[in-house]
Amino acid sequence: MPSSRLERVEESATIKIANAANKLKSEGIDIISFSLGEPDFDTPEHICKAAADAMYRGETHYAPSNGIPELRNAIADKLVNENKLDFTADDVLVTPGAKQAIFEIIMSVLDDNDEAILPDPSWVSYSPCIKFAGANPVWAPTDPENGFMPYGIEELITDKTKLIIVNSPCNPTGGVYDKEMLKTVSDLAIDHDLLVISDEIYEKIIYDKKHISMGSLDGMHERTITVNGFSKAYAMTGWRLGYVAAIPELMKGFKKIHSHSVSSATTFAQFGGVAALEGPQEPVNNMITEFKARRDILIDGLNRIGFKCKKPDGAFYAFADVSEFGNGDEVADKLLQEAHVAVTPGSGFGASSKDFIRISYATSQERIREALQRIEDTLL
């Protein structure tokens, strides 16, 4: 029989929609997929070459559990120079994807019946990870008119609260926390002696604002756990390469879980990570320019149809209010079955988001225009 632990955790909404879309594709139906959070660009050639060269020179054995020294050094340099975070290579743990890093962190810092505060909506896997640890997610409301910034966090803090999760730029909303918002969270964390996970996986995919790392704020170095990776910025989703940086007292627990579960990230993939950080950044900049053009086409089209959707400042998602046409689950199902456009219902990201859908614009401008036409023909 399955463990009772599994009963606490719901199925991933994004994976569920992707599976439904793939089933229709297997039947020969042309599906335009806006469901998965995956750049549609190829990994830059110099990164692939570095990994291939590593493989062919024999870097196919176990890596050090924490990560190869070359990559941990490159990550530490990046964190110091780009993010103003005071870390060394010893403060970095390389993981098979940022999702694994988040799982290890939450399992390490939360006990049974602890509470962790996260914005509503949030990425679909935060809440299940919290529940796996035996703790309870507490949802902070957000304001769609103000970039989905959370509010009222202080009223949610109890003697059981141990953790606040920040994801900027945000999946699913594309919201970007400015310094004032980060300062609000940091003040609460300091006043109530809380930890903060700062998930910065989308930090480079940002359009009209500047990314600020939570750990760079005064008083936050020791209580911020910074998570990042290579999947989004470098189109390396299939490489499964992420990392976490934190002070040694916290890192000790992450490493324990890491060593007894995944052992290490793939060895030759880590050499690709070194090339990503130390090589040319033009592919990243070109990808962001294209994402911004796609964003503008999509948001203009959605608002023309009658969805309510402001332009996101980061990531590659639109989080649209579709209440004029039904709730998010109804609209997502109708679009998949009739328009053959796959989107993710907002209910998968938080209880207050049932009137929303998430649209990932990680597809070509041509397909975005075609999808908009299909949506318009179906709903209007």
Judgement on whether residues 314 and 366 belong to the same structural domain of the protein: yes
Please give the pLDDT value at position 314. Answer: 98
Residue 234 lies in a domain: yes
Domain interval for residue 293: 4-43+282-379
Residue 228 lies in a domain: yes
The values of phi and psi at residue 149, to 5°, are -75, 135
Is residue 198 over pLDDT 90? Answer: yes
Judgement on whether residues 106 and 252 belong to the same structural domain of the protein: yes
Residue 259 lies in a domain: yes
Average of per-residue pLDDT across 212-222: 98
Residue finishing a domain among 278, 302, 337: 278
Please give the pLDDT value at position 158. Answer: 98
Is residue 377 over pLDDT 80? Answer: yes
Please give the pLDDT value at position 16. Answer: 81
- The rounded percent of the chain whose pLDDT value lies above 70 is 100
Please give the pLDDT value at position 295. Answer: 98
Please give the pLDDT value at position 12. Answer: 73
User: Domains in the chain: how many in total?
Assistant: 2
Is residue 13 over pLDDT 90? Answer: no
The set of residues, in sequence order, having a beta carbon less than 8 Å from that of 377 and lying 6+ positions away, is 339
The set of residues, in sequence order, having a beta carbon less than 8 Å from that of 214 and lying 6+ positions away, is 166, 182, 185, 186, 196, 198, 220, 224, 226
Residue finishing a domain among 224, 255, 278: 278
pTM for the full predicted model: 0.95
Is residue 260 over pLDDT 90? Answer: yes
Residue 56 lies in a domain: no
| Amino acid letter, residue 270 | Q
Average of per-residue pLDDT across 130-146: 96
Judgement on whether residues 261 and 143 belong to the same structural domain of the protein: yes
Cα R_g (the chain), whole angstroms: 20
pLDDT in tens, 61-100: 999 999 999 999 999 999 999 999 999 999 999 999 999 9
CATH number, domain of 161, equals 3.40.640.10
- The rounded percent of the chain whose pLDDT value lies above 90 is 92
The values of phi and psi at residue 23, to 5°, are -65, -45
Tell me the pLDDT band of 4, cut-offs 50, 70 and 90: confident
C-alpha triplet 122, 127, 130: angle, nearest 5°: 140
| Amino acid letter, residue 6 | L
